[in-house]
Amino acid sequence: MRHFLTLKDLSSQELKQLIKRAIELKQMHKADEVYEPMKNKVLAMIFEKSSTRTRVSFESAMIQFGGGSIFLSPNDTQLGRGEPVEDSARVISSMVDMVMIRTFEHEKVQQFAHYSSVPVINALTDDYHPCQLLADMQTYYEHRGSIEGKTVTWVGDGNNMCHSYINAAEQFGFKLNIATPIGYEPKADIVAESKATLSLYNSVEEAVVASDLVVTDVWASMGQEEEQKKRERAFADFQVTDKVMAFANEDALFMHCLPAHRGEEVAASVIDGKQSVVWDEAENRLHAQKALVEFLHLNN
Ligand code: CP
Ligand code: NVA
């Protein structure tokens, strides 16, 4: 069974093909072409954390593909009342064609996938957010062409998005600079395992020099709400401002997975400015995940 728990579940070749397919599916959608490869198929969507983009994009994807989806929150399911993951996985996967999960521990999606009889998609865990990277890579490709050999700078927390950028650097062949405050670096084992060219910094200005893409994310992720104040102090020098963007290449793009906090991790003038492609990036969640759903459907 092929699952999509991290970007490493697909080969580099498959990922690049998937991005091309996402661009095709986007054009087909804009041309009002009806394409229903998931007719009568069902996607179960397990959300243990909040979501706007991920939920709307997967639900829309399934409707446009001729199928349907079921939104499952822990407030309403037995999973939320402690039914074992392996039992839930066996039961849910016996009735649907694909499962998408957003949760806390990465091990939970691994365990669910192990007991599932249908493909499982990681829609964000504490450790990874691979679906967002599909959209980010599509967006870069649409604006600038291939990302291979380019330099990307990650600014801020060494979090789930940062870890998926580390995987993407290896799979798509770009150089990745990572600027974090001391103590907020990405996980050492994920850095150590990576075959990508990674450079770790504790200064934003040094890291962004000669970058083609600058990316950031919130200072406190879902589940870290009580650390907000402490993190505001730790990350005070890690805002992506116009001054920071000026160190990057002139044609550098700015991305953010959203939701964003203007005045914290990014200045309003940057996220709402000319180099920002965040709205295309958000829309591309739909097209990239359609390509992913189609891929998993055809390859299982
Ligand atoms: N970027 C992202 O995954 O957004 P949501 O939390 O709104 O799904
Ligand atoms: N790092 C953020 C991403 C949200 C899409 C979080 O996990 O909350």
Give residue ranges with CB within 6 A of ligand 2. Answer: 124, 159-161, 217-218, 221-222, 257
Residue 274 belongs to some domain of the structure: yes
Same domain, 98 and 114: yes
Residue 123 belongs to some domain of the structure: yes
Task: Let me know if 102 is a catalytic residue.
Answer: yes
Same domain, 201 and 228: yes
Same domain, 169 and 236: yes
Same domain, 94 and 140: no
Q: Between β-strands 175-179 and 151-155, what pairing exists: parallel, antiparallel or unpaired? A: parallel
Task: Let me know if 132 is a catalytic residue.
Answer: yes
Task: Let me know if 9 is a catalytic residue.
Answer: no
Query: Per residue in 27-69, pLDDT tens?
Result: 999 999 999 999 999 999 999 999 999 999 999 999 999 999 9
- Read off the tokens for 98: 């694909």
Residue 45 belongs to some domain of the structure: yes
> Model's pTM, two decimal places?
0.98
Task: Let me know if 129 is a catalytic residue.
Answer: yes
- pLDDT at residue 3, rounded to an integer: 98
Query: Per residue in 192-212, pLDDT tens?
Result: 999 999 999 999 999 999 999
From ligand 1's centre to the CA of 140, what distance in Å? 18
Same domain, 170 and 270: yes
Q: Which ligand is nearest to the CA of 103?
A: 2
Same domain, 70 and 140: no
Angle at the Cα of 108 from the Cα atoms of 107 and 109, rounded to 5 degrees: 95
Cα 85 to Cα 74: distance, rounded to the nearest angstrom: 12
Residue 135 belongs to some domain of the structure: yes
Containing structural domain, residue 98: 7-128+282-298
Same domain, 30 and 98: yes
**Spatial CB neighbours of 43, under 8 Å, sequence gap ≥ 6:** 58, 62, 67, 68, 69, 70, 96, 97, 98, 99, 100, 293
Same domain, 109 and 52: yes
Same domain, 110 and 157: no
Same domain, 104 and 173: no
CB 132 within 8 A of CB 256: no
From ligand 2's centre to the CA of 34, what distance in Å? 33
- Read off the tokens for 238: 């890690």
Q: Give the CATH number of the domain where residue 235 resides.
A: 3.40.50.1370
**Spatial CB neighbours of 126, under 8 Å, sequence gap ≥ 6:** 104, 105, 106, 160, 221, 223
Residue 2 belongs to some domain of the structure: no
- Where does residue 55 rank: exposed (0-12), middle (13-18), buried (19+ CB within 10 A)? middle
Q: Which of 3, 53, 102, 106 is catalytic?
A: 102
Same domain, 238 and 180: yes
Q: Which ligand is nearest to the CA of 131?
A: 1
Instruction: Report, as ranges of residue numbers, the positions in the chain whose pLDDT lies below 70.
Output: none
Q: Is 222 in the pocket of ligand 1 (CB under 6 A)?
A: no
- pLDDT at residue 45, rounded to an integer: 98
**Spatial CB neighbours of 275, under 8 Å, sequence gap ≥ 6:** 245, 252, 253, 254
Q: Which atom of ligand 1 is the closest one to the Cα of 50? A: 6
Same domain, 179 and 251: yes
Residue 1 belongs to some domain of the structure: no
Q: Specify the number of domains making up the chain.
A: 2
**Spatial CB neighbours of 93, under 8 Å, sequence gap ≥ 6:** 99, 115, 116, 117, 118
Tell me how long the chain is: 300
